[in-house]
Structure 1
Amino acid sequence: MDRPIGVMDSGVGGLTVVREVIRQLPNESIIYLGDLNRCPYGDRPMEQVRRYTIEVADVLVARGIKMLIVACNTATAAALDILRERYTIPVVGVIGPGARSAIQSSNNQNVIVLATNGTVDSGAYPEAIRRINRKFNVESTACPKLVPLVEELRYKDKVVVRVVLHQTLKHLHSSKADTIILGCTHYPLLADEIFDYFSGRKKVIDSGHETARETSSILTALKAHTPSQSEPTYTMIVNGKTERFEYILKDWMPFLDYEIEQITLEEETQ
C-alpha cells in the first residue's frame, strides 16, 4: 500500500521515532507533524492536550496516511483510545511498546520512568507495565527541564546538560531500579548523558525502537507494506518556525532528503 505513515509529536522529539521507523522500514514514506508553537504538551491540562492531539491527528489523516504513530507520550496518555475510535486506520502510541521493552530488559523488576508532568500524572506507564506483570515496581519522575533543553537547542552543551540532569535525577541515585524508560520522545537526544549519569548501571530504554517494531508488525498483518520498488518520500510539517526544527533534524538525521512545510494552528481550539 503506497501511502505514507503519519507521525505526530508536540515538537521535535518524535524525530527520534521517525529515525527508528526509517531504519526498520526504509521503503515507507513518512509525513511528520511537529506542533512546535504549542510545545511542550507535558505541562498542559490533559483536556487541552487531548484537543491539540486530535487537531494534529486530523491534519495528518486528511493527508491520506495509512497509519498514525502518536510519537508523544503525553498525547498517547491523553488521547490514544479516542484516536483509535475516531479513525479507521491503525493508531500506535509509544507507551505500550516502551513498557513491554522495559519488562523484557529488567532483571530485578524495578523500573524508573522519566517523563513529563502530564505523563507522570496520567499513571500510564505503571498501568501498562503492571497490566502485563503486576510484580513490577515502577518509580516515576517528572523532568520538566529536559524538553526545553532539546527544544531550545541546548542539548549539545554538556555542562548545562550535566547540571540539569543532576538537579533532576540526584534523588534516584540510590534507586535499585536496573532499567530506565525514557518516557518522552525528546529524551533520547539526552540518552547517552542519562546513561553516563548513572555510570552505566541502568539500562536506558528508548521506546522508538519498539514502536517501529510494532508498526512493522501491524503493516505485515494488514499486508500494507509499501512495495520495495517505490521511492520513499519524507514530508515535515511544522506548526511554527522551521529553523530550530531543521537544525535538530539535520543533526539527528543528516542523511535525510525531505520537504518541509510550515502551517499555523491556533493556540486554543474549541
Structure 2
Amino acid sequence: MTKTKQWYASWFDTPFYHILYKDRDYAEAQLFMDNLTNYLNLPDNGTILDLACGKGRHSIYLNEIGYNVTGVDLSEQSIAYAKQFETNGLTFDVHDMSKPYPKTFDAVFNLFTSFGYFESEDCNLKTIKSIKSELNETGFGVIDFMNVDYVIDNLVAEDTKTVNGIEFLQTRSVQDGYILKDISFEFEGESYKFQERVKAFTLSDFNDLFEKAGVHLLDIFGDYKLRKFDAKTSKRLIMIFK
C-alpha cells in the first residue's frame, strides 16, 4: 500500500486505524472534559473548537454537557462519520488545523496528542498562531500532548495487539527528534504497513513555539485529573494558554 507524504492523511482515513484504537477509554475522556471545562469555567452554552476531532468522541460529549461545539479534522472519512451526530449545537467540518478557522471561540481544544504530525516545522508554529486567532477575548487554548520524557523512558520496542481478528505488530523507536510507531498487519490476504510519526516536543519546545506565536502559557497539568505536571512521572503534558 502506498503511503502519502503526510502519513496521517492516509492512516487516519483507513478503517484499520479505528479498529486498532477502538478500546480507548471513553470514561477517562469524559472525566477529562468534565475536569477541563470546570477548571476553565467556560460560560453556559459556551463555544468550543475541537481541533483534530477525529470521529468526534470529545465533541459529542462536550455538546451533551451543554456546549456549542465545532469539531474539525483533516480526515474526510472521520468527519463524514461524525456528521451523523450533528445537532443545532454540534457541527463538524473538514479543516487543516495549521490554517485559521473563520470563527472565534471561548476555548480551542487540541486533544489526545493531535499535534506534531506535520512534515514542515513551520506548520507547528502556524497551528499555534491559528489557535490564537480562533480565541475570543476571554478564550483559552488547550493542548493535550504526550509527556515525551515519560514515553521515551517507558517505550515498548515491540508488541502485538489482536483486534477484530487482525494481528497488529507494533514497533516503536525514537529517531531524529520523532517518536515513531510502525504498524504492520495482514487482512484478507494483503499486507499493510503504516507509520505514525510524532515530533517529540518537550515543554521547553512548546514554550519556544508559544513565545514565537505570541501566546502565554497559564497552567500545566500532568494527567486527566489535572494533577501537577512532573517531567519524569506524568503521562500527559496538558497546557492551558491564551
What is the TM-score with the length of structure 2 in the denominator?
0.41
Larger proportion of strand: 2
What is the TM-score with the length of structure 1 in the denominator?
0.37
Larger proportion of helix: 1
- Using CA pairs below 8 Å that are at least 6 residues apart, which structure has the higher relative contact order? 1
